[in-house]
């Protein structure tokens, strides 16, 4: 505890500065998520405080981030849609999923999986981050020009017929859940259908309209219509915000340009009494836990989103640990990855209980904290406390911020989050896949596939597909490399190693030597299985040199067993030379050693193996 306050002054300034930088972003991410600015602010408060308190990176500032918000949008949009567009009704299920993601993060840390997160392939991360930028940029076009599909009466009217069908379908689902036998009690169904009011129809149609115009595809579909009714005041506010954010950075970076833009543009709009659209009202007073998470919990409503919760947990882990590496490089320290995941999980869990959106370690805010003097976990806690003070003292004032200002802020976030390094590298990456006459780069294919699928389809599934494809490509490359290095070709053409130069020439027809170089795993077993077929009938003994085979998985183990069994059936002696610990352990587990290979046929070096050969192998084909 004393060490925490050793650098109090630096931590205080670092935390205050990081909290100020976090404020506009928290509000913007909250609005973008669909839960409102208060959800973003609550997320920033609790994640920043608890992730700092329990995490493993002293200088990290955590809170809502663009990737976490983009995935949260998918969760929120999907659950709100199946709850008749009623956010209050959908909120318990939404927050339960966020809570589940936080608990999963804690589990990842406790299981010690933090050190493995870094193995996520770069093309997947690059494609995902660029897609996040595209999603944020495109989806902020409509609020930036002041167009809201739910408020377009003519557009909403298109969905009135679908709205009636949707309401009737929901009635049938409710009756099924209540145990009402619809065929026997059809009068109850008719009674409920007759109670549908024009207001219910209008509300459902607005929900369907908003859903139809959501996401990248929905925005592009409705954009021509939106451009016919641009609110020029809203557009001017958004453009002014963007201009100040980029312009002020050229003047100085000592003061966060995002905050400057927020204050200036909001101050002008409010001070001159302009008829702008404000953000949703931010509740005043202390945040209150949402106990409906427990009282209204329905397992069926979140089961389809368990994989999404896991994606949030993994994405938050990746985001946080990458930021931890940045912090390490700046402070010459070393973070504790598993402890960091536990801290992030606790922060996200607490934020979910209070109605906040999930988040992760935020690179820009962490850099600002370090540059402003932050050195210990106290700085992150100060940032969270500052945001709580702002909520309590300035909640009503913050509620007057124009929605277009936050849209402008998010446009700059979308531009900044794209992975330009990965995009610039596309022309220069090696082309290692042949599709007919075309030669393509597997890394580029993965990157573009994840980017496109994430942008127009589903973030969660796109990442899963990218990971599977990247894993398959890696396995193929490793298998090809292992096969090439292991000399999978006629044994007579294998190059002799240095200690094999003096091998008796009169025994070359009786004894064959096989070099295995590299791991024997599921990506390389098909080539290894050719070994038995390569050995002619003249051979009585095969030497398998395993000193360079560091690893064997279960598939490789059974491939080895099949080859050895085949050779044994042909009365061929097999001698293993320089077998390493892990392969030997695997072979002993299923009794390959000693059932197929007796221990006297295992040699520590090639010299002792040759002694056995000289004593036991006779020249059966003398010249």
Per-residue pLDDT of 580-592, as tens digits, reads: 999 999 899 888 8
The pLDDT score that the predictor gives to residue 186 is: 60
- What's the sign of the alpha-carbon dihedral 381, 384, 390, 395? negative
- Same domain membership, residue 520 and residue 427: no
What is the Cα–Cα distance from 424 to 555, expressed in whole angstroms? 39
* Residue 596 within any structural domain of the chain: yes
- Same domain membership, residue 500 and residue 600: yes
Strand order in the sheet with 511-517: 511-517, 541-548, 573-577, 602-603
Mean pLDDT score of the chain? 84
* Residue 113 within any structural domain of the chain: no
* Residue 344 within any structural domain of the chain: no
- Same domain membership, residue 538 and residue 469: no
* Residue 288 within any structural domain of the chain: no
Range(s) of the domain holding residue 189: 148-212
What is the Cα–Cα distance from 607 to 172, expressed in whole angstroms? 80
Q: Which of 93, 98, 558 is nearest to 302 (CA)?
A: 93
The pLDDT score that the predictor gives to residue 286 is: 83
Of the three residues 470, 485, 500, the one that is the final residue of a domain is 485
Residue 6 CB: number of other CB atoms within 10 A? 11
Of the three residues 465, 485, 505, the one that is the final residue of a domain is 485
Q: If you average pLDDT over residues 369-388, what whole number do you get?
A: 90
Q: If you average pLDDT over residues 148-155, what whole number do you get?
A: 90
- The 3-state secondary structure of 485-524, one letter per residue: HCCCCCHHHCCCCHHHCCCCHHHCCCEEEEEEECCECCCC
The pLDDT score that the predictor gives to residue 182 is: 47
Q: What is the pLDDT of residues 492-502, one digit of tens each?
A: 455 677 778 77
- Same domain membership, residue 503 and residue 450: no
* Residue 445 within any structural domain of the chain: yes
- Same domain membership, residue 608 and residue 528: yes
The pLDDT score that the predictor gives to residue 322 is: 80
Q: What is the pLDDT of residues 463-507, one digit of tens each?
A: 788 888 888 887 777 666 665 555 544 444 556 777 787 788 778
Q: What is the pLDDT of residues 1-16, one digit of tens each?
A: 455 566 788 889 888 8
- Same domain membership, residue 495 and residue 612: yes
Q: What is the pLDDT of residues 165-192, one digit of tens each?
A: 777 777 676 655 555 544 455 666 666 6
The pLDDT score that the predictor gives to residue 267 is: 94
- Of 167 and 63, the structure prediction assigns the larger pLDDT to 63
Q: Are 154 and 226 in contact (CB under 8 A)?
A: no
- Domain of 507, CATH number, reads 3.30.750.24
Q: What is the pLDDT of residues 198-210, one digit of tens each?
A: 887 888 888 888 8
The pLDDT score that the predictor gives to residue 205 is: 86
The pLDDT score that the predictor gives to residue 241 is: 94
Of the three residues 455, 485, 515, the one that is the final residue of a domain is 485
The pLDDT score that the predictor gives to residue 484 is: 59
* Residue 383 within any structural domain of the chain: no
pLDDT higher than 70, residue 614: yes
- Same domain membership, residue 504 and residue 462: no
Q: What is the pLDDT of residues 73-129, one digit of tens each?
A: 888 888 887 777 778 888 888 999 999 999 999 999 999 888 777 677 888 888 888
Q: How many structural domains are present in the chain?
A: 3
Structure tokens at 307: 């994989």
Q: In this structure, which long-range contacts are made by residues 562-569, counting pairs with CB atoms below 8 Å and at least 24 apart in sequence?
A: 562/529, 563/528, 563/529, 563/531, 563/532, 564/592, 564/596, 564/597, 565/596, 566/532, 567/532, 567/535, 567/542, 568/596
The pLDDT score that the predictor gives to residue 237 is: 96
């Amino acid at each position: 505890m004393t060490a925490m306050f050793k650098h109090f002054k630096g931590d205080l300034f670092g935390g205050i500065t990081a909290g100020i930088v976090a404020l506009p972003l928290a509000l913007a991410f909250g609005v973008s998520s669909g839960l409102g600015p208060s959800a973003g602010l609550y997320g920033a408060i609790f994640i920043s405080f608890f992730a700092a308190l329990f995490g493993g990176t002293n200088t990290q500032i955590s809170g809502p981030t663009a990737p976490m918000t983009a995935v949260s949008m998918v969760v929120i949009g999907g659950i709100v849609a199946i709850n008749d567009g009623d956010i209050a009704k959908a909120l318990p299920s939404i927050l339960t999923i966020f809570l589940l993601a936080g608990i999963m993060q804690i589990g990842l840390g406790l299981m010690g999986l933090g050190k493995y997160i870094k193995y996520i392939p770069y093309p997947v991360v690059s494609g995902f981050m660029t897609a996040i930028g595209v999603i944020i940029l495109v989806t902020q076009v409509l609020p930036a020009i002041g167009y809201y599909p739910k408020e377009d009466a003519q557009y909403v009217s298109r969905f009135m017929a679908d709205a009636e069908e949707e309401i009737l379908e929901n009635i049938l689902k409710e009756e099924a859940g209540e145990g009402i036998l619809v065929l026997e009690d059809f009068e109850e169904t008719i009674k409920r259908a007759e109670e549908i009011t024009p207001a219910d129809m209008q509300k459902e149609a607005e929900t369907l309209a908003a859903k139809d115009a959501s996401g990248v595809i929905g925005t592009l579909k409705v954009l021509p219509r939106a451009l016919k009714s641009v609110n020029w005041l809203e557009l001017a506010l958004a453009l002014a915000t963007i201009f100040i954010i980029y312009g002020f950075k050229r003047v100085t970076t000592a003061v966060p340009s995002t905050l400057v833009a927020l204050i200036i543009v909001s101050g002008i709009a409010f001070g001159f009494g302009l008829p702008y659209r404000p953000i949703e009202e931010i509740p005043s007073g202390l945040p209150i836990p949402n106990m409906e998470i427990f009282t209204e919990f329905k397992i069926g409503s979140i089961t389809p989103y368990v994989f999404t919760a896991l994606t949030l947990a993994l994405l938050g882990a990746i985001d946080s640990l990458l930021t931890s590496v940045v912090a390490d490089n700046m402070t010459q320290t070393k973070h504790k990855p598993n402890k960091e995941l536990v801290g992030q999980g606790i922060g996200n869990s607490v934020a979910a209980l209070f109605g906040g959106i999930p988040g992760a370690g935020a690179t820009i805010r962490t850099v600002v904290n370090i540059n402003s003097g932050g050195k210990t976990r106290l700085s992150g806690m100060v940032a969270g406390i500052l945001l709580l003070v702002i909520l309590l003292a300035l909640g009503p004032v913050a509620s007057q911020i124009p929605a277009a200002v936050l849209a402008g802020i998010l446009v700059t976030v979308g531009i900044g989050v794209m992975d330009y390094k990965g995009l610039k590298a596309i022309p220069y990456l090696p082309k290692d896949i042949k599709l007919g006459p075309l030669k393509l780069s597997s890394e580029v294919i993965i990157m573009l596939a994840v980017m496109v699928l994430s942008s127009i389809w589903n973030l969660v599934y796109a990442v899963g597909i990218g990971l599977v494809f990247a894993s398959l490509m890696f396995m193929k490359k490793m298998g090809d490399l292992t096969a090439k290095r292991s000399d999978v070709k006629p044994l007579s053409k294998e190059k002799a190693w240095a200690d094999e130069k003096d091998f008796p020439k009169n025994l070359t027809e009786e004894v064959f030597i096989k070099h295995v170089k590299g791991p024997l795993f599921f990506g390389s077993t098909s080539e290894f299985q050719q070994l038995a077929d390569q050995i002619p009938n003249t051979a009585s003994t095969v030497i398998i040199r395993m000193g360079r085979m560091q690893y064997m998985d279960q598939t490789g183990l059974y491939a080895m067993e099949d080859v050895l069994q085949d050779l044994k059936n042909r009365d061929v002696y097999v001698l293993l030379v320089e077998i390493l610990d892990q392969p030997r352990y695997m072979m002993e587990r299923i009794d390959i050693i000693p059932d197929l290979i007796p221990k006297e046929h295992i040699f520590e070096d090639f010299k002792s193996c040759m002694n056995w050969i000289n004593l036991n192998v006779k020249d059966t084909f003398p010249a």
